[in-house]
Amino acid sequence: MKQYLFSFLLAVVALACSTANASAQGSKAPASSSSSSYSEIWDRVQKAVVGESQQKTYQNPKNKAKVSVTVKDLDWSDITKSGASLREAFKSGFGSPNSLEIKDISFGPDFQNGAYFLSFSLPEEETTKIVILDVAGNEILNEEIEDFTGTYESKVNIPAAAKGTYFLKIVQGFNLVNKKLVIE
């Protein structure tokens, strides 16, 4: 496993370097821009290895309890630590050249209704499937919408007071995105 991870990281660095070299050769930029291109390369490598992440903290107006919600890219360690059913459900999203373009993803508690709320936007129109699983591989949400485009909004049956890790998979046509939802 470590050998595959090392090979993957090496491939990512090589791709980032070749992209930076190609763009640098195509422009007559001053020498000082080389440090910014290395910074861009590092940012690309870090994003490929660690992924993107957003964290928000919410406070329940009734009891002042705080809930922290993190939405981050799913990575290999999440899959290798999980059970076989979860691994099977999400394995097709890694290394896929057809990553789904998703905008404005939001996942947070709805304290008034005692659940969570999921929303995101998709610019393309196509059949869309949304799945949320818990760490045991149990389905929390499984919805398919024909010819969907625009903003998706839905209540998710996770109690607002619950803490845990969940996995989100959104598939539209042959494109998909996997996210890890952490509630603390």
CA gap 107, 56 in Å, rounded: 9
Residue 146 pLDDT: 95
* pLDDT mean for each 10 residues of the chain (184 residues): 48 52 48 59 60 84 90 70 55 55 90 92 94 91 94 91 90 89 93
Alpha-carbon dihedral sign for residues 98, 103, 107, 112? negative
CA gap 8, 18 in Å, rounded: 15
**Residue carrying the six token digits 């905008």:** 103
Residue 171 pLDDT: 92
CA gap 11, 14 in Å, rounded: 5
Residue 162 pLDDT: 83
Assign domain 51-183 to its CATH architecture.
Sandwich (2.60)
Token pair of 40 as six digits: 């861009």
Outline where the chain has alpha helix (H).
2-25, 33-50, 76-80, 84-90
Q: How many helices (H) and strands (E) does the chain have?
A: 4, 7
- 55 residue type, one letter: Q
**Contact between 109 and 58 (Cβ < 8 Å):** yes
**Contact between 124 and 99 (Cβ < 8 Å):** no
List the one residue out of 53, 97, 45, 57 whose CA is nearest residue 72.
53
CB atoms within 10 A of CB 132: 24
What is the Cβ-side half-sphere exposure of residue 112, based on CA atoms within 13 angstroms?
0
